[in-house]
Structure 1
Amino acid sequence: MASGHRSILIAGAGATGLTVALELARRGHLPRIVDSDTGPVSLTESRALGINARTLTLLSPSRVSDAILQECQQIARFRITAKGRQLVDLDTTKLPGPYGAIYALAQGHTERLLLGKLSDYEIVPEWQTAVETVSGDLSRPTVVLRKPDGSVETADFDIVIGADGSRSAVRKAVGIEFPGQSLESSFHLADFRYALPIDPGFAEISLVDPGIIGRIPVTRDVLRYISTLADFEGRIQHPAPVAERVWASDFRIHFRHVDTMAKGNVFLAGDAAHIHSPAGARGMNLGIEDACWLAWLISEGRQKEYAELRMPAVKRVMKQTYRLTSLITMRNPVAITIRDLAAPLILRIPAFSQKLLRSVSGYDTQSPPWIDGAL
């Protein structure tokens, strides 16, 4: 069977699932994509915000990067302060290549841009369609789908891709474990719209020991604050009069990843395979990276290499985000003092600041061989 004519089912129409569909489509495949939700993530309730240079590189062949750059906010500086003292001030624009290290765009916007490009290939997600089971010979899996009207469809596919989030029905159906741990404390967030102009060009974490209050730009007039403190909203130093409290939420941080990202011809990508702290803004970006690698390998007939190629990147990012989260949420007074003294000194060393910049940009994982000149 010609590679372009293989039947491919993608479960999950979030950023990861849409990316793998788009990358397959532009290589001549016509995947089917289903999602149990009613549509893409709400524009005002998007947890993922960061888009790094690696993602922009990966989405450049489809021209999605061009659309993202028209709508996003570049985060030109990343700062960490403690007790009014600046510990870190990283210039994210000092990066080789066509992109800065990190930009901000709500996940809902990113998904809609991906949907727009995908429609050029006449591929539209089947919303309110859920994967019930994946069974049989996993070299050609049998999938049961529950339709919006409650009816059931059973079909065989050459390839099934689970991009259906941390509670992945695909992962559970094929018996892949999802071990890990969760942090004891909860995280809280709130988005505020301002009545006067603000500076959306930097992100900042204020260490209040114990705990943090982070500031991240969402749009030109909206900032997101994220904190480990339940009463953080009363501690925010707003840069201008508040026009509106747009959205608020809270969540627990989990560190989990599968031991294998494939079983037969069933593959996992994004949150279905790994979840971690939002520190470093790697979550959605890592899922998009999974998607692009998987689509390329499928088009090359090398999908069996996917798990082996992707697991090193997953483990690297998991380790980095755990360390960063531990650094910014530590409670031991002695450790806090050492951190606050050491951080500014270490980051004055060019090798360390460049390493941090490569991590923020996503350039610390394997370069995509199908894109000429990719870092």
Structure 2
Amino acid sequence: MASGHRSILIAGAGATGLTAALELARRGHLPRIVDSDAGPVPLTESRALGINARTLTLLSPSRVTDTILQEAQQIQHFRIAAKGKVLADIDTTEVPGPYSAIHALAQGHTERLLLGKLSDYEIVPEWQTVVEAVSGDLSETKVTLKKLDGSVETADFDIVIAADGSHSTVREALGLGFPGQVLESSFYLADFRYAGPVDPSYAEISLFDPGMIGRLPVTRDVLRYISTLPDFESRIEHPAPIAERVWASDFRIHFRRAEVMAKGNVFLAGDAAHIHSPAGARGMNLGIEDACWLAWLISEGREQEYAVLRMPAVTTVLKQTHQLTSLITMKHPMAIAIRNLAVPVLLRIPAFRQKLLHGVSGYDTQSPPWIDGAL
């Protein structure tokens, strides 16, 4: 059967699933995409914000990058501060290639841009459709779907892509483990809208003894604060009068990855395959990267290479995010003192600074061979 005529089901219409559908569609496939939710992530409740240079490169052939750049906030500087003093200021535009290291755009907005491009191929997610069961052999997979009206459908698919999140029904149906660890510390976040514009050009981490508060731009008048401190909101130095507290949440950080990223003709991508700390803004980006690689491999008839090709990238990102998280969650006074002295010194070393930017840009994973000149 010609690759373009294979039946493909994508479970999950988040950023990973939508990217997989779009990348497949522009290569001549007609995937079916389902999701248990009623629609994309609400714009005011988007956990993921960062879009790195690798993602912009990957989404450039579909022209989604053009629309992202029109809407996103370019983060030109990353600052580390302690006790009101800036310890380091990194210029995030000091990376090779056409894009700076990272931009900020709410995940819900990114998903809507992907949906817009996907509609050009007349592919629309089937919302409020739940994957109830997955079975079959290595060549064909039988999936049972339950719709909002209670009707049940069972269909066979040549390929199934599990992009249905950390509690993936598909992964669990395959009996694949999701080992890892959860940090003891909780993280807290709050988004504030201000009465006037604020400077969205930089992100900042303020270190405390112990704990931290991160400041990230969401839009030109909304900032996100993320912290390890339960009372962090009382410590925020707001840049302008507050118009609205838009959203607040708390969460625990898990570091997990699936035992394997594929079983037969079922492939795991995004949070269904791996979850980790938001440090370094790699989560949504890594899922989009999974989706692009898998779509290309499917079109090349090489999808069985997916797990082997992607696992090194996943390992790299989990290691990097774990290291960054360890730096900002230190509690021992001596370790904190050493960190506060060492980090500014290290970041003055060009090679160290470039290595950090290389990772934040997403350039520490394998370059996509289907895009000419990609880093």
* Mapped partners of 1:163, 1:87: distance in 2: 39
Match of 2:226 in 1: 226
5+ residue gaps in structure 1? none
TM-score (norm 1): 0.99
Match of 1:269 in 2: 269
Following TM superposition, where does structure 1 have runs of at least 4 consecutive aligned residues deviating by more than 4 angstroms? Answer: none
Please state whether the residue corresponding to 2:210 is helix, strand or coil: coil
Q: Aligned pair 1:92/2:92, yes or no?
A: yes
Give the counterpart letter for 1:181 in structure 2. Q
Give the counterpart letter for 1:187 in structure 2. F
* Mapped partners of 1:120, 1:232: distance in 2: 44
Please state whether the residue corresponding to 2:286 is helix, strand or coil: helix
Match of 1:359 in 2: 359
Match of 1:372 in 2: 372
Structure 1 range deviating more: 133-142 or 156-165: 133-142
* Mapped partners of 1:233, 1:264: distance in 2: 48
Give the counterpart letter for 1:229 in structure 2. L
1:138, distance to aligned residue in structure 2 (A): 3.2
Match of 1:5 in 2: 5
Aligned residue runs from structure 1 range 1-375, under 5 A:
1-375=1-375
1:85, distance to aligned residue in structure 2 (A): 2.8
Please state whether the residue corresponding to 1:127 is helix, strand or coil: coil
* Mapped partners of 1:87, 1:332: distance in 2: 20
* Mapped partners of 1:283, 1:345: distance in 2: 28
Structure 1 range deviating more: 189-198 or 274-283: 189-198
* Mapped partners of 2:259, 2:343: distance in 1: 33
* Mapped partners of 2:87, 2:153: distance in 1: 57
Please state whether the residue corresponding to 1:103 is helix, strand or coil: strand
1:347, distance to aligned residue in structure 2 (A): 1.3
1:332, distance to aligned residue in structure 2 (A): 0.9
* Mapped partners of 1:177, 1:186: distance in 2: 24
* Mapped partners of 1:145, 1:16: distance in 2: 20
Identity %: 82
RMSD: 0.7
Give the counterpart letter for 2:68 in structure 1. I
* Mapped partners of 1:234, 1:161: distance in 2: 44
Give the counterpart letter for 2:224 in structure 1. R
* Mapped partners of 1:79, 1:99: distance in 2: 19
Give the counterpart letter for 1:337 in structure 2. A
Structure 1 range deviating more: 332-341 or 118-127: 332-341
- Cα displacement string for residues 210-243 of structure 1 (whole angstroms, at most 9, x for unaligned residues): 1111100000000000011111111100000001
Give the counterpart letter for 2:238 in structure 1. H
Query: What is the aligned residue count?
Result: 375
- Cα displacement string for residues 239-289 of structure 1 (whole angstroms, at most 9, x for unaligned residues): 000011111111111000012100000000000000000000000000000
TM-score (norm 2): 0.99
